[in-house]
Structure 1
Amino acid sequence: MPSDLNAPGLKLRRRKNGPDTLYWVARNDLVKAGYRPETIRLRHSLDEPDHLPLISAACMRYQAEMLEWAVGRRDDRKRFDGTIAGLVRCYQVDGASPYHGQKWNTRRTNNHLLKLIEKAFGERVLGALHIGDFRRWYDAAKKPNAAGGPERVDRACKIIKMLRELFKYGVTAELPECQRLRTILMEAEFRQARRRKTKLELEHVEAFVANALEVGKVSLALGTALQFETMLRQKDVIGEWEPILAGTAASGIVLNGRRWVNGLVWSDLGEGLQLVKDTTKTGQTAAHDLTLCPIVMRVLAHVPANRRIGPLIIDPASGRPYAEFVYTREWRRIANAAGIPKHVWNMDARAGGISEADDAGAELDHIRSAAAHAQATTTARYVRGTRGKSRKVAELRLAHRATRNKP
């Protein structure tokens, strides 16, 4: 880079295939303190002399915004430049934005979407946007990743949802054009991705547990049995590794700057194997009598009493709870050996348990309570390809006909 170029925070990323890319990068200490965005791509070139003043001006501007944030002077209306990229920055930096109240993994997902949005159309001015632009963006986002592949409708819908969230924030921050654009997107309809219809069946669980126990993967067998029979989310069974916030003591089970939280521990089983746990997503309490869960009881028999301390689900390779994505990877290996189709995932255990309950004729509200859902409409979305309710309806109709046909 030119030695006389005044461009604080400028970084050059060299690429093997394609032109080098310029980025402005925020100070690491301020990023750890919560400043966003961490990086902003600059669409200029160091090889173009006319671009150098633009690079310098952009870097100095972003640097000034970051330093203003650092000392607590946040005038979002002045910082907002009327573009999509400007709205993204306000959404991430403004302390009043809902962004800062999001859970870490939600924020991670949203950061990915925000980068896609900023890269694709961050330079567009809000005042020039209309419904046709959003339709075009949706159509472009859902195109297959490769020729002949499936459309990525879910990806396109998530981008539209994120844009709605951005404009909703913009309305509350009194940023120009956001009310108009939010109204457009709230009224517009976009084709949604098809809901997942796959479920983990009882025979899948039986085969998985048998194979897992055969190769000594007791925790994988126990986790799968619990997910299916108690209808708990994977996260509520195996836990998750959340980032340790700056200034917070690194207590508990820690790995690479993250702390294990939210998973089942042996003390959750209580007296007589009565499982009670507050779930992570809704805060609803799940309560189950594990003595009525035969697959779980079968696996528990393989865990000696002296090992029933701390987290239930342990990675035998590390002696700690499974690291992120390792559980799913190891689960797939056992599933392949057990003959479970590749399109059936570990996450489908919850839908499998709920669908089995529906097929057995359980009342929807009872299933909702057992699955720790806040609303029955959520439970209904997990019922996949069963005949429980239709059978009940048919039986009631037949009984009604029999009554009418009596002399």
Structure 2
Amino acid sequence: MRSDEKLDAPGLKRRGKKKERLHWVARADIARDGYLPKTVRLHYDEAVPAHRRLIEAACHKLQAEMLEWASGKRNTVRPFDGTLGSLVRCYQTDEASPYRQIKWNTQRTYDQVLSVVEKAFGTRSLSALGIADFRKWYDAAKAPRAKGEPERVRKAHGIISMIRRLMAYGIAAEHAECGRLAAILDASRFKQPGRRRVRLELHHVEAFVAKALELGRLSLAIGTAVQFETLMRQRDVIGEWEPIRDGEKTGIVLNDRRWVNGLTWSDLANNLEVFKDTTKTGQTVAHDLKLIPMVVRLLDMVPTSRRVGPLIIDEEAQRPYAMHGYTREWRKVATAAGIPTGLWNMDARAGGISEADDSGADLDDIRSTAGHSQASTTVNYIRGGMGKSRKVTKGRQASRTVKNGTET
């Protein structure tokens, strides 16, 4: 008969009503201090005698790591022990890991996926993994949240992509089994999420601007117009909140984060000619806002006394929009303006690029305006491709006219 007293397994918890599952759970006070992982699923059956020793061993190991971290050795890199969970930790903490070189917001995104990987599969030994496991994990992650809802292909593909990154790091760090598993993944194909096909069009932007002005959200009107007309990314227009790493709380600070990278009124000071280093690629883009009537009209609505500091200011808070605040408030106005929920603020960039393509603009000119390093990236933003199609059709028709010696 099973009982807690018979298992020497610190941190062991049983969860689940219909089907009980075993988890190791970090002490609440240590987890609040930032310890990860907070929970680890234990894929063992307590009713199997041999599994009971494995449960105890896993709990003692995880408990010891947690207590070591809490004792002040928080920067200690825990050694690789052959499990997927330890590979995740090495990837995040090894000074030589490519993870340490990526930008903080990309790390944040990676951490979300890595947390899912570690919680779900962290105790699995790399030596015991194969293609069947990867397929099973992909299929489980892809399953709809509820009956009738769409499959979550983007989530599933993101997990597999992250495991590929882990194995690539493991090869470089000379961890056992990573080369074998990387070869398996290289030879395997998993369905990718479909590209977004929708885009904000001019009539959407005009409707949004009118409604934003009606609701007293001039900032949202300006931000959306600038995004659409200049093809700039949202964070290059409104800025972002970067974690403070130097300890100096200078500039605009909110919750230990400093506002950076957004457009300021000083960027517009040179006769509305803007030169901006983009945050993602570092490419410098140039825009003459005087040539954009919608943007000029909106900028003229800003009082002279307010034309200092960040261009886009939350009217209610009188500072740049808090993290996720711009997108949240944008959606409220978009809904009021009758813009479908399937259209997002980020689609303004794709809409502007697609409109440029439809107008027959040269692809390399569009690439430069958008701040892309490669034309292939620009092509991914073109939703519809009518511009190139028209150019090809006109060329074919002109060629036929020449061949036939007739006029059309």
TM-score (norm 1): 0.88
For the 8 Å contact 2:15–2:23, the answer to whether it is kept is yes
Q: d(CA) in 1 for partners of 2:160 and 2:15?
A: 32
Q: d(CA) in 2 for partners of 1:239 and 1:398?
A: 47
Partner of 1:142: 142
Q: Which runs of structure 2 are paired with 1:267-286 in the superposition (5 Å)?
A: 267-286=266-285
Mean alpha-carbon deviation: is it higher for 22-31 or for 137-146? 22-31
Per-residue deviation, residues 130-186 of structure 1 (Å, max 9, x unmatched): 112111111111110111100000001100000000000100110001011111112
CA RMSD of aligned residues (A): 3.2
Other structure's SS at 1:287 match: strand
Mean alpha-carbon deviation: is it higher for 178-187 or for 49-58? 49-58
Partner of 1:88: 88
Q: CA deviation at 1:71?
A: 7.1
Partner of 1:59: 63
Note if 1:208 corresponds to 2:212: no
Other structure's SS at 2:271 match: helix
Other structure's SS at 1:276 match: strand
Which residue identity is paired with 1:164?
Answer: R
Partner of 1:125: 125
Q: d(CA) in 1 for partners of 2:323 and 2:368?
A: 28
Q: d(CA) in 2 for partners of 1:107 and 1:15?
A: 31
Q: d(CA) in 2 for partners of 1:125 and 1:6?
A: 20
Q: d(CA) in 2 for partners of 1:317 and 1:108?
A: 28
Partner of 2:177: 177
**In 2 relative to 1, CA 29–21 (structure 1 residues): closer, same or farther, beyond 3 Å?**
closer
Q: CA deviation at 1:24?
A: 3.0
**In 2 relative to 1, CA 44–172 (structure 1 residues): closer, same or farther, beyond 3 Å?**
closer
Q: d(CA) in 2 for partners of 1:54 and 1:30?
A: 22
For the 8 Å contact 2:235–2:261, the answer to whether it is kept is yes
Q: CA deviation at 1:41?
A: 2.9
Which residue identity is paired with 1:112?
Answer: Q
Other structure's SS at 1:179 match: helix
Q: d(CA) in 2 for partners of 1:62 and 1:120?
A: 18
Aligned residues: 394
Partner of 2:26: 24
Partner of 2:389: 390
Structure 2, unmatched stretches of 5+, are none
Structure 1, unmatched stretches of 5+, are none
Q: Which runs of structure 2 are paired with 1:366-377 in the superposition (5 Å)?
A: 366-377=365-376
Q: d(CA) in 1 for partners of 2:61 and 2:190?
A: 39
Partner of 2:244: 244
Q: d(CA) in 2 for partners of 1:388 and 1:6?
A: 65
Other structure's SS at 1:275 match: strand
Partner of 2:362: 363
Q: CA deviation at 1:317?
A: 0.8
Per-residue deviation, residues 269-309 of structure 1 (Å, max 9, x unmatched): 13110011100000011110101112111111111222110
**In 2 relative to 1, CA 43–20 (structure 1 residues): closer, same or farther, beyond 3 Å?**
closer
For the 8 Å contact 2:15–2:21, the answer to whether it is kept is yes
Per-residue deviation, residues 3-44 of structure 1 (Å, max 9, x unmatched): xx996xx69899999889642369979978xxx745353749
For the 8 Å contact 2:241–2:259, the answer to whether it is kept is yes
**In 2 relative to 1, CA 381–100 (structure 1 residues): closer, same or farther, beyond 3 Å?**
same
Q: Which runs of structure 2 are paired with 1:2-401 in the superposition (5 Å)?
A: 22-24=24-26, 37=36, 39-41=38-40, 43=42, 55-64=59-68, 74=77, 79-245=79-245, 247-401=246-400
Q: d(CA) in 1 for partners of 2:181 and 2:62?
A: 27
Q: d(CA) in 2 for partners of 1:262 and 1:402?
A: 53
For the 8 Å contact 2:9–2:56, the answer to whether it is kept is no
Q: d(CA) in 2 for partners of 1:124 and 1:297?
A: 59
Mean alpha-carbon deviation: is it higher for 93-102 or for 255-264? 93-102
Mean alpha-carbon deviation: is it higher for 160-169 or for 213-222? 213-222
Q: d(CA) in 2 for partners of 1:67 and 1:339?
A: 56
Other structure's SS at 1:272 match: coil
Q: What percent of counterpart residues are identical?
A: 53
For the 8 Å contact 2:40–2:120, the answer to whether it is kept is no
TM-score (norm 2): 0.87
**In 2 relative to 1, CA 274–16 (structure 1 residues): closer, same or farther, beyond 3 Å?**
farther
Per-residue deviation, residues 194-224 of structure 1 (Å, max 9, x unmatched): 0001100100111111111122211000000
Q: d(CA) in 1 for partners of 2:202 and 2:173?
A: 51
**In 2 relative to 1, CA 13–202 (structure 1 residues): closer, same or farther, beyond 3 Å?**
farther
**In 2 relative to 1, CA 65–254 (structure 1 residues): closer, same or farther, beyond 3 Å?**
closer
Q: d(CA) in 1 for partners of 2:402 and 2:175?
A: 65
Q: d(CA) in 1 for partners of 2:131 and 2:377?
A: 31
Which residue identity is paired with 1:305?
Answer: T
For the 8 Å contact 2:265–2:309, the answer to whether it is kept is yes
Which residue identity is paired with 2:381?
Answer: Y
**In 2 relative to 1, CA 353–240 (structure 1 residues): closer, same or farther, beyond 3 Å?**
same
For the 8 Å contact 1:37–1:92, the answer to whether it is kept is no
For the 8 Å contact 1:228–1:352, the answer to whether it is kept is yes
For the 8 Å contact 1:126–1:177, the answer to whether it is kept is yes
**In 2 relative to 1, CA 352–257 (structure 1 residues): closer, same or farther, beyond 3 Å?**
same
For the 8 Å contact 1:26–1:37, the answer to whether it is kept is no
Q: CA deviation at 1:56?
A: 4.0
Q: CA deviation at 1:354?
A: 0.4
